[in-house]
Amino acid sequence: MLGLPKQGYFKRMRVYLKERFPIPVRFAYSILLYISFISFLGIIYGIKLSIFSYYTLVGTWSIFSIMFILRLMDELMDKEIDKELFPDRAFPSGKVLESDIRFSLAVIIILYLCVNIIFIRALWIALIVLGFSLLMTKYFFIPRMRRYLLLNLATHNLVIPIIFFYFLILFSVEHNLKLKNLDWPFTFLLIGMYWAMFFAWEINRKTRSKEEENAYVTYSQIFGPLGAVLVAVGAQTVTLSIGLYFFWALSFSGIFLLILLAGYAVAIWGHGRFISNPNPMTSKLKPFAERFILSVVSAQILNHVLLVA
């Protein structure tokens, strides 16, 4: 890396980021995700939040950097597969070098740790999140695991609830809450609500029509297109059901219910369109999963604003 000119590195990474990790979009996504989750916690624990606090900056940066770390690690994990199946992408095509990816990964990890070292009481969970993410790169030292998509799903997807548990720890540190005194049933429901919609996103991003299938293993190969859709819809229905329970149990505003139902309806429409006419156009289900996630987080942020106004 030292032999590469700085200007060359930044130009290459600009190309990479535009294609694989658009920073403004991902950072905005991180802000919405963190604020929506802690605003849920604020309502559950009856705490009037100052959303734009120092802790919000820490939480936002942490989720952003972890998403970036996971993206960069995926590039390294899948480099041989991508060369064969996705040769036009920035990394396999040579637009960005492996040394660029590794250097960027090291920088982001260092910055993530520096921010979290400030919060000594939360450092342990930050290290768990990072450690679990790094273990994913090594397939938990079980090389054969990469051949089995469902085993990968069962292990790697666990990083999602761990991240939300990190949010919970930051929230408890900020508001001096002891873990033993937390309302764990409500808290676990909340983590499950967020986990389920990201689980659906994972299924959707690897669902294809039969004519698109190749050596790249997808959930639609394993379950069939209909089965993959049913798994994703089932997970989104879990999110919807928990959201409806919160609406009833915590007396949420009507705007929360309206946006939640609208997001779910859009996701169902996307899935239905694919099942009724599976083709390379209708198989693009990931955007529908992302819209559903956006509907959940925006519904809660607006709900929080209305409840505290």
Among 151-160, 166-175, 183-192, where is mean pLDDT lowest? 151-160
pLDDT in tens, 133-166: 888 877 654 556 566 777 778 778 899 999 999 9
Average pLDDT, integer, range 112-138: 88
Residue 194: its H or E element: helix 184-205
* More confident: 296 or 154: 296
* CATH number attached to the domain at 183-309: 1.20.120
Tokens of 137: 């790169």
DSSP states of 255-277: HHHHHHHHHHHHHHHHHHHHHHS
pLDDT in tens, 257-289: 999 999 999 999 999 999 999 999 999 999 999
pLDDT in tens, 249-263: 999 999 999 999 999
Task: Name which CATH class applies to 1-177.
Answer: mainly alpha
How would you label 262-283 residue by residue, b for 16+ Cβ within 10 Å and e otherwise? ebbebbbebbebbeeebeeebb
pLDDT at 70 over 60: yes
Dist. CA 68–CA 78, nearest whole Å:
15
Give this prediction's pTM. 0.91
| Residues of each domain in the chain carrying CATH 1.10.357 | 1-177
pLDDT given for residue 2 in this prediction? 43
pLDDT given for residue 7 in this prediction? 57
The residue with tokens 């519904």 is 299
pLDDT given for residue 187 in this prediction? 95
Question: How many C-beta atoms lie closer than 10 Å to residue 128's C-beta?
Answer: 15
Nearest to 240 by CA among 271, 268, 273, 203: 268
User: What pLDDT band is residue 74 in, cutting at 50, 70 and 90?
Assistant: confident
Distances (CA, A) of 275 to 202, 204, 209, 223, 226: 18, 13, 9, 13, 6
pLDDT given for residue 4 in this prediction? 43
| Residues of each domain in the chain carrying CATH 1.20.120 | 183-309
pLDDT given for residue 122 in this prediction? 86
* Sequence-distant (≥ 6) Cβ neighbours of residue 243 within 8 angstroms: 193, 256, 260, 296, 299
